[in-house]
């Protein structure tokens, strides 16, 4: 595989629309204002030349689609908020949520709810993926949260994208823990308007 710097050169080169590996798998492709990246390529760019990569793509592209070998994908939209919903594990303060799911004011508003109970403290829990660093996990469903965090001790809070900044505490974000495990550095979050996970169909 090419070095991350060489991949960045190909991303910047407007004459390169698709780049394949020796197995004829598309490692990167460009269509209009959408950049498609193979997951490993994104991770290498993220780890080795994050700022050069990000400073270019946030101006040139509206969306980045990251695809893994199982055909799961994550769409990072840099322009529009799609009003997606995310779920995080929390421990509530004095308030008990009967159905195990709470809603922030923003997520309730996005769902058209008129009255959302927000008079409680929610303490998010974090994932330690490598035994050293804590990550803020974004799950696409309450069921996936409960696979990691037992309902006996944790509840589930539905949040909107803007709510991430109230809870993530500066930690990097992991999209779809246990399924995709895509790490997005905290420094990129303000440049992203929404994150959407598309599981293999």
Question: Both 8 and 100 in a single domain?
Answer: no
Q: Is residue 56 located within the same domain as residue 100? A: no
Give the model confidence (pLDDT) of 128-164 as tens digits: 877 778 999 999 999 999 888 887 778 889 999 999 9
- Per-residue model confidence as pLDDT tens digits over 70-124: 788 999 999 998 888 999 998 876 655 555 688 888 888 888 887 676 656 788 8
What is the SS3 assignment for 129? coil
Tokens in use for 195? 């994150």
Domain coverage including residue 128: 86-190
**Overall pTM surpassing 0.75 (yes/no):** yes
Query: 167 lies in a domain?
Result: yes
Same domain, 181 and 151: yes
91 and 36 share a domain? no
pLDDT per position as a tens digit, 172-193: 999 999 889 999 999 999 999 9
Smallest Cα–Cα separation from 84: which of 1, 200, 193, 199?
A: 193
Residues 90 and 167 both lie in one domain: yes
Is 200 within the bounds of a domain?
no
At residue 67, does pLDDT exceed 70?
yes
Would you say residue 74 lies in a domain? no
Which residues lie closer than 8 Å to 143 by C-beta, 6 or more apart? none
Sign of the Cα pseudo-torsion (174, 175, 176, 180, in order):
negative
- If one counts the domains in the chain, the total is 2
Residues 183 and 90 in one domain: yes
Chain-centre distance of CA 40, in angstroms?
16
| 78 found inside a domain | no
């Amino acid at each position: 595989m090419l070095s991350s710097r060489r991949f960045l050169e190909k991303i910047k080169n407007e004459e390169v629309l698709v780049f394949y590996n020796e197995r004829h798998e598309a490692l990167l492709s460009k269509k209009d204002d959408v950049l498609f990246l193979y997951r490993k390529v994104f991770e290498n760019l993220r780890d080795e030349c994050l700022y050069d990569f990000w400073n270019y793509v946030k101006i040139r592209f509206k969306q980045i689609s990251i695809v893994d070998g199982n055909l799961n994908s994550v769409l990072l939209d840099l322009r529009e908020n799609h009003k997606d919903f995310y779920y995080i594990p929390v421990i509530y303060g004095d308030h008990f949520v009967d159905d195990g799911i709470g809603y922030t004011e923003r997520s309730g508003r996005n769902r058209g709810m008129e009255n959302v109970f927000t008079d409680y403290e929610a303490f998010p829990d974090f994932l330690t993926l490598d035994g050293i660093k804590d990550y803020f996990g974004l799950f696409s469903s309450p069921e996936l949260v409960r696979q990691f965090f037992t309902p006996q001790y944790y509840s589930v809070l539905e949040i909107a994208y803007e709510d991430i900044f109230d809870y993530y505490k500066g930690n990097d974000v992991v999209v779809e823990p246990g399924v995709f495990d895509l790490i997005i550095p905290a420094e990129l979050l303000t440049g992203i308007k929404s994150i959407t996970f598309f599981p293999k169909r």
